[in-house]
Amino acid sequence: MLINLRVDNPNVMNNRIPFDLPPMSFHDGQLVAVSQIHIKWETQQKHALITLSSTLIDKSSYNPHQQLLLVYEKNNNFNLHRTPTRREYYKIQCMELQSSEFYLFNYDKRKIAKIESIFLQLEILDERIQSITQKKK
């Protein structure tokens, strides 16, 4: 299942992305990965080293910041777009999408530049489906 989230002219306060999240419930054993992200900046960025984090996923010793994605762009660009070829799946801990929060951080601790729009596509899988597809490889 794919979930598309979009926000225009977001007021990113305390690094929180103000998505208008749809009412959606999850169940134990479901996993999430970022299948696509697009950020359109208001001004040209020399480089961007961005992490996307969310309370949707499990906080663990190997992922203490609940990071979903790390992206680097170095092209003096207004747009950052990624479609990961190898997706990293994380266990869902927050069973209600509307109760989760998404955060954007500059890895080098700079303030996030003004954003015109953000598009985020999440892929949701059942754990047993994921393990079956991994065994076939």
Q: What pLDDT, on a 0 to 100 scale, did the predictor assign at position 133? A: 55
- 45-87 pLDDT, tens digit per residue, is 888 888 999 999 989 898 999 999 999 888 768 888 999 999 9
Residue 26 makes CB contacts below 8 A (sequence gap 6+) with 92, 94, 95, 96, 97, 124
Q: What pLDDT, on a 0 to 100 scale, did the predictor assign at position 70? A: 92
Select the more confidently predicted residue: 10 or 112. 10
Domains of the chain (ranges plus CATH)? 2-135 (2.60.120)
Give the torsion through C-alpha atoms of 73, 78, 79, 80, to 10 deg: 20
User: 3-class SS at 8?
Assistant: strand
Reported as type and span, the H/E element at residue 127 is helix 127-135
pTM: 0.87
